[in-house]
Chains A and B, each alone.
Chain A
Amino acid sequence: MTTKMFGAPVQRTEDLRLLVGNGRYLDDLGEGSYEAAFVRSPHARARITGIDVTGALDVDGLIAIYTYEDLTGRVAEPLPLLIPHPALTHGRTAYPLAKEFVNHVGEAVVMVVATDRYLAEDACERITVEYEALPPVVGIENAHRADRLVHDDVPGNCAAHLVQEVGDAPAAIAAAPNRLELKLDIERSACMPMEGRGVYARWDAADESLRVYTSTQTSTGVRAAVAAKLDLPLDRVECVTPDVGGGFGVKIVHPWPEEILIPWAARLLDHEVKWTEDRREHFISAAHERGQLQTVRVGFDDDGRLLGLDVEILHDNGAYTPYGIIVPIITSTQLLGPYKPGAYRVDFRSLYTNTVIVTPYRGAGRPQGVFAMERAMDAIADHLGKDRTEVRAVNFIQPDEMPYDHGLLFQDGRPLIYDSGDFPGSLDALKKLVGWDEFEAYRARARAEGRRVGIGVACYVEGTGVGPYEGGHVQVETTGKVVVATGLTSQGQGHQTVFAQIVADELGVPIEDVTVTTGDTRRFPYAVGTFASRAAVMSGNAIALAARNVKAKALRIAGEALEADPRDLEIVDGQVRVKGSPGASVALGTVAVLSNPLRYAFDEASKAATQLTGKADFSKPPVAEDDEPGLEGRDYYSPPTATFANGMHAVIVETDPDTAEIRILRYCVVHDCGHLINPMIVEGQVHGGVAQGVGGALYERMEYDEHGQLVNASFMDFLMPYASEVPKIEIDHLETPSPLNPLGIKGAGEAGVIPAAAVFASAIEDAEGFPITRMPIQPSELFHLRKRFAAGEIPALRRGADHAAGTHR
Chain B
Amino acid sequence: MKPPAFRYHAPTDLAEALDALAEVGHDGKVLAGGQSLIPMLNMRLAAPAHLVDINGLSELAYVRTDPGGVAVGALARHAEVEADEAAHAVVPLLRQGLRLVAHPVIRNRGTTVGSLAHADPSGEMTAVLALLGGSMTLARKGSTRTVAVEDFFVGPLEASIEEGELAVAAYFPRLPGRTGTEFVEIARRHGDYAMCGVAAAVTVDDDLRIVSARAAYLSLSPVPLVLDLTDALIGRTADTAVWQDAATLAAGSLEPEGDIHATAEYRAQLAGVLTVRALRTATERAALVDPNGTTGTTSTERSAR
**Chain A interface residues (CB < 8 Å from chain B):** 117-118, 121-122, 125, 278-280, 658-661, 699, 703, 711-712, 714, 717, 719, 721-722, 724-725, 778-780, 783-784, 809
> Given contacts A699-B188, A699-B189, A724-B189, is CB(A783)–CB(B5) below 8 Å?
no
Contact for A122 among B4, B103, B260, B262, CB less than 8 A:
B4
Q: How far is the CB of B262 from chain A (nearest CB, A)?
A: 5
> Which A residues lie within 8 Å of B44 (CB)?
121, 125
> Given contacts A712-B260, A780-B263, is CB(A659)–CB(B273) below 8 Å?
yes
Q: Any chain A CB within 8 A of the CB of B43? A: yes
Closest-by-CB residue of A relative to B258 is: A780
In the docked arrangement, what's the CA distance between A800 and B74, Å? 56
> Which A residues lie within 8 Å of B1 (CB)?
121, 278-280
B269 touches A659 (CB 8 A): yes
Q: Any chain A CB within 8 A of the CB of B235? A: no
Q: How far is the CB of B250 from chain A (nearest CB, A)?
A: 15
Q: How far is the CB of A703 from chain B (nearest CB, A)?
A: 5
> Given contacts A125-B44, A659-B269, is CB(A722)–CB(B263) below 8 Å?
no
Contact for A779 among B2, B191, B266, CB less than 8 A:
B266
> Which A residues lie within 8 Å of B263 (CB)?
780, 783-784
In the docked arrangement, what's the CA distance between A12 and B34, Å? 36
B186 touches A780 (CB 8 A): no
> Which B residues lie within 8 Å of A779 (CB)?
186, 188, 262, 266
> Which B residues lie within 8 Å of A721 (CB)?
189
Q: Any chain A CB within 8 A of the CB of B257? A: no
B3 touches A118 (CB 8 A): yes
Q: How far is the CB of B136 from chain A (nearest CB, A)?
A: 26
B262 touches A780 (CB 8 A): yes
B189 touches A122 (CB 8 A): no
In the docked arrangement, what's the CA distance between A278 and B186, Å? 30
Contact for B260 among A121, A660, A703, A722, CB less than 8 A:
A703
> Which A residues lie within 8 Å of B147 (CB)?
none
A711 touches B260 (CB 8 A): yes
> Which B residues lie within 8 Å of A118 (CB)?
2-5
> Which B residues lie within 8 Å of A719 (CB)?
188-189, 192, 261
Which 8 A-B pairs have CB atoms at the shortest separation, nearest pair first? A724-B190, A278-B1, A780-B266, A118-B2, A658-B273, A780-B262, A783-B266, A703-B260
Q: Any chain A CB within 8 A of the CB of B162? A: no
A784 touches B190 (CB 8 A): no
In the docked arrangement, what's the CA distance between A717 and B261, Å? 8
> Which A residues lie within 8 Å of B5 (CB)?
118, 122
| Secondary structure call for the B interface | loop
Closest-by-CB residue of A relative to B270 is: A659
**Contacts A/B (CB < 8 Å), 7 sampled:** A658-B273, A660-B266, A661-B186, A699-B189, A722-B191, A724-B189, A784-B266
Q: Any chain A CB within 8 A of the CB of B265? A: yes
Q: How far is the CB of B255 from chain A (nearest CB, A)?
A: 17
Q: How far is the CB of A660 from chain B (nearest CB, A)?
A: 8
Closest-by-CB residue of A relative to B262 is: A780
Closest-by-CB residue of A relative to B103 is: A722
Q: How far is the CB of B172 from chain A (nearest CB, A)?
A: 28
In the docked arrangement, what's the CA distance between A783 and B195, Å? 14
Q: List B residues 124-145 near A (Cβ within 8 Å).
A: none
A780 touches B261 (CB 8 A): yes
Most-contacted residue by chain B among A117, A122, A779 (CB, 10 A): A779
> Which B residues lie within 8 Å of A661 (CB)?
186
> Given contacts A117-B2, A699-B188, is CB(A778)–CB(B270) below 8 Å?
no
Q: Contact size class for B?
A: 20 to 34
Most-contacted residue by chain A among B192, B195, B261 (CB, 10 A): B261
> Which B residues lie within 8 Å of A717 (CB)?
260-261
> Which B residues lie within 8 Å of A784 (CB)?
263, 265-266
11 more A-B residue pairs beyond the given contacts A118-B4, A121-B1, A717-B260, with a C-beta to C-beta distance below 8 A: A121-B4, A717-B261, A724-B190, A725-B189, A725-B190, A778-B188, A779-B266, A780-B263, A780-B266, A783-B266, A784-B265
B2 touches A121 (CB 8 A): yes
Number of A-B residue pairs, CB cutoff 8 Å, is 66
Closest-by-CB residue of A relative to B266 is: A780
Closest-by-CB residue of B relative to A657 is: B273
A722 touches B190 (CB 8 A): yes
> Which A residues lie within 8 Å of B43 (CB)?
280, 714
> Which A residues lie within 8 Å of B269 (CB)?
658-659, 783, 809
> Which A residues lie within 8 Å of B262 (CB)?
779-780
In the docked arrangement, what's the CA distance between A699 and B261, Å? 10
Closest-by-CB residue of A relative to B3 is: A118
In the docked arrangement, what's the CA distance between A784 and B269, Å? 11
> Which A residues lie within 8 Å of B261 (CB)?
717, 719, 778, 780
In the docked arrangement, what's the CA distance between A122 and B5, Å? 9
Q: List B residues 31-78 near A (Cβ within 8 Å).
A: 43-44
> Which B residues lie within 8 Å of A724 (CB)?
189-191
> Which B residues lie within 8 Å of A783 (CB)?
263, 265-266, 269
In the docked arrangement, what's the CA distance between A689 and B186, Å? 27
Q: List B residues 179-215 near A (Cβ within 8 Å).
A: 186, 188-192, 195
In the docked arrangement, what's the CA distance between A117 and B2, Å? 7
> Which A residues lie within 8 Å of B270 (CB)?
659
> Which B residues lie within 8 Å of A780 (CB)?
195, 261-263, 266
Q: How far is the CB of A635 from chain B (nearest CB, A)?
A: 45
Q: Mark B101-115, 1 if CB is under 8 A from A, else 0.
A: 001000000000000
In the docked arrangement, what's the CA distance between A712 and B260, Å? 8
Closest-by-CB residue of B relative to A281 is: B1
Closest-by-CB residue of A relative to B186 is: A659
In the docked arrangement, what's the CA distance between A658 and B261, Å? 17
Q: List B residues 152-199 near A (Cβ within 8 Å).
A: 186, 188-192, 195
> Which A residues lie within 8 Å of B265 (CB)?
783-784
In the docked arrangement, what's the CA distance between A194 and B19, Å? 42
In the docked arrangement, what's the CA distance between A778 and B195, Å? 12
In the docked arrangement, what's the CA distance between A809 and B266, Å? 12
Q: How far is the CB of B191 from chain A (nearest CB, A)?
A: 7
Q: How far is the CB of B233 from chain A (nearest CB, A)?
A: 20
Q: How far is the CB of A656 from chain B (nearest CB, A)?
A: 9
Q: List B residues 232-263 near A (Cβ within 8 Å).
A: 260-263
> Which A residues lie within 8 Å of B273 (CB)?
658-659
In the docked arrangement, what's the CA distance between A635 and B190, Å? 50
Closest-by-CB residue of A relative to B267 is: A780
> Which B residues lie within 8 Å of A711 (CB)?
260
In the docked arrangement, what's the CA distance between A278 and B188, Å? 25
In the docked arrangement, what's the CA distance between A780 and B267, Å? 8
Most-contacted residue by chain B among A121, A279, A280 (CB, 10 A): A121
In the docked arrangement, what's the CA distance between A660 and B273, Å? 11
> Which A residues lie within 8 Å of B2 (CB)?
117-118, 121
In the docked arrangement, what's the CA distance between A370 and B188, Å? 26
Closest-by-CB residue of B relative to A714 is: B43
In the docked arrangement, what's the CA distance between A717 and B39, Å? 14
In the docked arrangement, what's the CA distance between A711 and B260, Å? 9
In the docked arrangement, what's the CA distance between A280 and B189, Å? 21
In the docked arrangement, what's the CA distance between A279 and B42, Å? 11
In the docked arrangement, what's the CA distance between A737 and B43, Å? 51
> Which B residues lie within 8 Å of A712 (CB)?
260
Most-contacted residue by chain A among B2, B5, B265 (CB, 10 A): B2
In the docked arrangement, what's the CA distance between A714 and B263, Å? 20
